[in-house]
Chain A
Amino acid sequence: MVKFLFKELISSLFSVFVFLFLMFYAINIFIPGDFLTPLSLMITREELDGLRAALGANDPLYQQYFRWIMSVLSGEITPGGFQRRSSEAITSSIIPTLQVLIPSILLSFSLSKLPALKTSIGRLHKDKIFSDITATLFISLFPPIVYFLVADKVESYYQDIALSLKFKKISTSLLDLSSFQLDIFLLLFLLGLILIMVSFIELATFSLIPKLKLMTGFTIITSLYLYLEEIYFLQLFFETKVPIKTIIVLSVFLLGEYILMNNVVVQNISREPHLLTARAIGYSKSQIYKNHILRNSFGPIAYRLGMNIPYLIASLVIVESTTNWGGLGSLLYITITNQDSNAAMGILFLLALLAIFFRIFISITHKLIDPRLSSNV
């Protein structure tokens, strides 16, 4: 397992190195001006040229890239002397990104399994035309349109809840909590909410209670309620308004892709002979799904999820900019449109690290779940 992990890490680091190299060149060539250009309004041209020479902005790009990599290794991800956004400002937006990314993946991945689960075992190998067309429709939906459809409804739900609870918003009530604590509580709260939401959707679809998900969701929410005072808890609940909108839009964006992926993989696996044998022996649908389809389908799905990471990053940029959620995606959009190349490289570096983390997590889970690979662990 250690050897496997080491191999994965080296391979991913090399990919990230190539990715950052290409993006560094793309950003420095295609974005007009450089990170000192905005100063041209404040200082003279001679002063600007002097500053450029002193900070190495006129050096060849490979030298600047090497300097940037060395700076990243020493802990500073936005080097260059003149910083419009510091490393702290950028790294602090990682948790808001995770607050919407993890629940969105969880929600869309759970929902994407529903069409296959609703189909009888005998028909699994056939085309699922209705769900495929619905998935294509989801992919075609433009995020601002989804946001336009969703935002008002979410807003009215929150207003109804605030009225029913007779809640008066006290904006300073959360000041006692540090921003890190608040971010972590918000992440947990959102995870709990999404788990409960998924459980209720599964309950409505199959008339079966998904005990583990429901219990985990309720445990998280109850623990937060018991740990925090009521006013903090309510304030935390109302803080979830914008992330919930972002999660819904991002989930719709990802759902179509995941449904198509799941349908194709399940369709291919259900043609394999071991499934026919399981049906002939008389296994129940849930047994066949859990022991044969789910475990065997994880490999191809994990591979496609790994390939899908750039799509995930692009989705983050588009959706966060639409909903004005302050994660890495919207920050990247702002930095690129403001020609802040240093900050953009810093954000891309963090997104690449996030991609590595997801890739390694998917690979390890694949190795643990897939019976053909887990025997070698």
Chain B
Amino acid sequence: MYSYIFKSTYRSFYGKIGYLFLFILISLSFLHSYLLSSEIWSQSIYDPIVGFDVEIFPHPTPPSSTHILGTDPLGRDVMSMFMAGSRPLIQMSLFSFFIGLFVTLFTGTLIPFLFKKLDLLMREVSSGVILMPPPLVLLILGTGEFVDKLSQVWLDQYMGYSPV
């Protein structure tokens, strides 16, 4: 199945471009780990979170030989941040893709197969769910802490979490 998916996607022009980008992202991710672990890039300067180049001031700085894409206002190397971000990007994309695929395949094929009339209801419910724009959900989720709204019993029993 995997070889079939690979062959069918690789055949098209966009598939080739996609695989090229995926290869670049994976390479960048490994290259970043190698550069930091072998001390070619000093941890204190090129760490994507706490790195700071004291020899250059003020930050942000434009691209140079030491910082290929320059630095951000906090003095971190932009190229290093970009390379470090490739690993969670790939992980999140694959994770969300497979979860989405399995959930939709399960609900989309099994429910109509087992419960024919429920499929009509599911279709209408899914058209309601489709109306929810993801950026809006992200905006709502980003407004702040909401654990105090959840049931205290549920949090204690199932999550082992007690909000202060």
**For the complex, would chain B's binding face be called helix, strand, loop or mixed by DSSP majority?**
helix
Min CB distance, B6 to chain A, in Å?
A: 20
For residue B55, CB closer than 8 A to chain A, the reply is no
Min CB distance, A21 to chain B, in Å?
A: 8
User: Within residues 125 to 164 of chain B, which ones have a CB less than 8 A from any CB in chain A?
Assistant: 125, 127-137, 139-141, 143-146, 148-150
User: How far does the alpha carbon of A336 sit from the alpha carbon of B135 in the complex, in Å?
Assistant: 12
User: How far does the alpha carbon of A132 sit from the alpha carbon of B144 in the complex, in Å?
Assistant: 39
Contact B133 A19 (CB under 8 A): no
For residue B14, CB closer than 8 A to chain A, the reply is yes
Residues of B within 8 A of A28 (CB): 149
- Return 8 A-B CB contacts under 8 Å, by A number: A27-B140, A30-B143, A32-B148, A310-B131, A310-B133, A313-B131, A317-B133, A336-B136
Contact A23 B146 (CB under 8 A): no
User: How far does the alpha carbon of A15 sit from the alpha carbon of B130 in the complex, in Å?
Assistant: 9
> Per a CB cutoff under 8 Å, which of B131, B141, B143, B148 touches A19?
B131
Q: A29-B146, A31-B140, A31-B146 are in contact. Are A132 and B132 (CB under 8 A)?
A: no
Residues of A within 8 A of B132 (CB): 19, 22-23, 310
Contact A15 B124 (CB under 8 A): yes
Contact A336 B139 (CB under 8 A): yes
Residue from B129, B134, B139 with most neighbouring chain A CB atoms (10 Å): B139
Q: A29-B150, A31-B146, A314-B136 are in contact. Are A355 and B141 (CB under 8 A)?
A: no
Shortest Cβ distance from A26 into B: residue: B140
Q: A31-B140, A336-B139, A337-B143 are in contact. Are A16 and B131 (CB under 8 A)?
A: yes
Residues of B within 8 A of A318 (CB): 135
Shortest Cβ distance from B137 into A: residue: A26
User: How far does the alpha carbon of A307 sit from the alpha carbon of B130 in the complex, in Å?
Assistant: 7
For residue A291, CB closer than 8 A to chain B, the reply is no
User: How far does the alpha carbon of A28 sit from the alpha carbon of B149 in the complex, in Å?
Assistant: 8
Count: A-B pairs, CB below 8 Å: 84
For residue A324, CB closer than 8 A to chain B, the reply is no
> Per a CB cutoff under 8 Å, which of B125, B131, B144 touches A309?
B131
Residues of A within 8 A of B140 (CB): 26-27, 30-31, 336
Contact B135 A317 (CB under 8 A): yes
Please count how many residues in chain A sit with their CB below 8 Å of the partner chain's CB atoms: 35
User: How far does the alpha carbon of A11 sit from the alpha carbon of B123 in the complex, in Å?
Assistant: 10
5 closest Cβ pairs, A-B complex: A18-B128, A314-B133, A310-B133, A19-B131, A32-B144
For residue A124, CB closer than 8 A to chain B, the reply is no
> Per a CB cutoff under 8 Å, which of B127, B139, B149 touches A333?
B139
For residue B2, CB closer than 8 A to chain A, the reply is no
Q: A27-B140, A31-B143 are in contact. Are A15 and B127 (CB under 8 A)?
A: yes
> Per a CB cutoff under 8 Å, which of A23, A29, A309, A355 touches B149?
A29
Residues of B within 8 A of A157 (CB): none
Min CB distance, A336 to chain B, in Å?
A: 5
Min CB distance, A69 to chain B, in Å?
A: 14
Residues of B within 8 A of A313 (CB): 131, 133, 136
For residue A62, CB closer than 8 A to chain B, the reply is no
User: How far does the alpha carbon of A336 sit from the alpha carbon of B143 in the complex, in Å?
Assistant: 7
For residue A14, CB closer than 8 A to chain B, the reply is yes
Residues of B within 8 A of A333 (CB): 139
Contact A314 B146 (CB under 8 A): no
For residue A212, CB closer than 8 A to chain B, the reply is no
User: How far does the alpha carbon of A26 sit from the alpha carbon of B134 in the complex, in Å?
Assistant: 12
Q: Quick one: CB contact mask for B1-44 with A, threshold 8 Å, 1 for yes?
A: 00000000000111000000000000000000000000000000
User: How far does the alpha carbon of A26 sit from the alpha carbon of B127 in the complex, in Å?
Assistant: 17
